[in-house]
A and B are shown apart, each in its own frame.
Chain A
Amino acid sequence: TQLLEQSPQFLSIQEGENLTVYCNSSSVFSSLQWYRQEPGEGPVLLVTVVTGGEVKKLKRLTFQFGDARKDSSLHITAAQTGDTGLYLCAGALNTGNQFYFGTGTSLTVIP
Chain B
Amino acid sequence: ETGVTQTPRHLVMGMTNKKSLKCEQHLGHNAMYWYKQSAKKPLELMFVYNFKEQTENNSVPSRFSPECPNSSHLFLHLHTLQPEDSALYLCASSREAGASRRRTGGYTFGSGTRLTVV
Contact = CB atoms under 8 A, between A and B. Distances in A.
Contacts of B55: 97
Contacts of A88: 43
A2 B42 CA distance: 8
Interface in A24-60: 30-31, 33, 35, 40-45, 48, 50
Interface residues of B, number: 28
Nearest to A40: B111
A61 interface: no
Contacts of B43: 43, 88, 90, 101
Interface residues on A, range: 20 to 34
A50 B103 contact: yes
Interface string B40-61: 1111010010100001100000
Contacts of B105: 31, 48, 92, 99
B110 interface: yes
A40 B4 CA distance: 15
A93 interface: yes
B111 A93 contact: no
A92 to B, nearest CB: 4
Contacts of B6: 42
A92 B101 contact: yes
Nearest to A93: B101
Interface of A: 2, 4, 30-31, 33, 35, 40-45, 48, 50, 88, 90, 92-104
